[in-house]
Each structure stands twice: as C-alpha cells, then as structure tokens.
Structure 1
Amino acid sequence: MNKPPRKKNPTFGIAIFIVVAVLLVIATLFYNAITEKREFDRQNAPEPTISSDAAAAAATTAKPASGAAQ
C-alpha cells in the first residue's frame, strides 16, 4: 500500500549546473567582446575633416530673418 520514497536523481541537478555554467561563459564572452569593440572604436575614431568643420561653422553663423533688409 505505501509507495517507497523516490530517490533523488543527482544527474538532473548536475545537468542544470552545467547548463547554467555554459550560459554564464557565453554571456561573459559577449560582454567582453562588446566592451572591447566600444573601446577600440573610441580609440580609433576618425578625425573630423576640414569640410565637416567648415560645414559646422557655417551652420552656427547667424542668418538674417527672411523679412530683414539685406
């Protein structure tokens, strides 16, 4: 009438541990790759060209209003 108690299966717990460990390793690799790419891009940013500086300077100069006498 009484069922014997089920024995715990240790394989399931070890399988879960391995899956979590592998996911942590993959997440760490992605994090390091993204961080190093951003650092590389920051160090190797292209210098602004003269034409873009001139365009920025021209955009910031005051222009007369459309109704103002020229």
Structure 2
Amino acid sequence: MNKPPHKKNPTFGIAVFIVVAVLLVIATLFYNAITEKRDFDNQNATAPSISSTAAAAATVARPASGQAQ
C-alpha cells in the first residue's frame, strides 16, 4: 500500500530558469535604455537662446489687453 516516491519533473525547473533569464534580459534592456536616454538628454541640453529670452521678456513687459496703460 506504500506509494512509490514522487519523481521531480526536471522540465519545470528548466522552464522556471528560462523565464527568469528572459525577465532579467528584458529588465537589463530597459535599464540601459533609461540610463542612455538620461545621458543623451544631459549632453544635449541647450541653454535658452537670446531671442527666446527676449521674447519672454517682451511678453512680460506688455500689459494684458483691456488694462489701462
């Protein structure tokens, strides 16, 4: 009446290993993409040009329509 010992299925362990490996690869790709984008944005950040600064100052100096000058 004794049951024979249950054999482990090696396929399940290999499947888990493959899934974990694929998830690690995807996580690494996302991490590298995010860090590369930050580096790219930091290197290509441009200072505001003089014309855009002058345009911003001109809009601030101008009174809104409908107000007395």
Q: Tell me the TM-score normalized by structure 2.
A: 0.71
Structure 1 distance, partners of 2:26, 2:10, is: 25
- The equivalent of 1:41 in structure 2 is 41
Percent of pairs identical after alignment? 85
Structure 1 distance, partners of 2:42, 2:23, is: 29
Larger RCO: 1 or 2 (CA < 8 Å, sep 6+): 2
- The equivalent of 2:59 in structure 1 is none
Give the length in aligned residue pairs: 69
Superposition map of 1:1-70 within 5 A: 1-50=1-50
Structure 1 distance, partners of 2:31, 2:54, is: 39
Structure 1 distance, partners of 2:42, 2:13, is: 44
- Once structures 1 and 2 are overlaid, which stretch shifts more, 5-14 or 41-50? 41-50
Letter in structure 2 aligned against 1:28: T
Structure 2 distance, partners of 1:22, 1:33, is: 17
Structure 2, unpaired ranges of 5+: 56-69
Runs of 4+ in 1 over 3 A off after TM superposition: 51-55
- The equivalent of 1:58 in structure 2 is none
Q: Tell me the TM-score normalized by structure 1.
A: 0.70
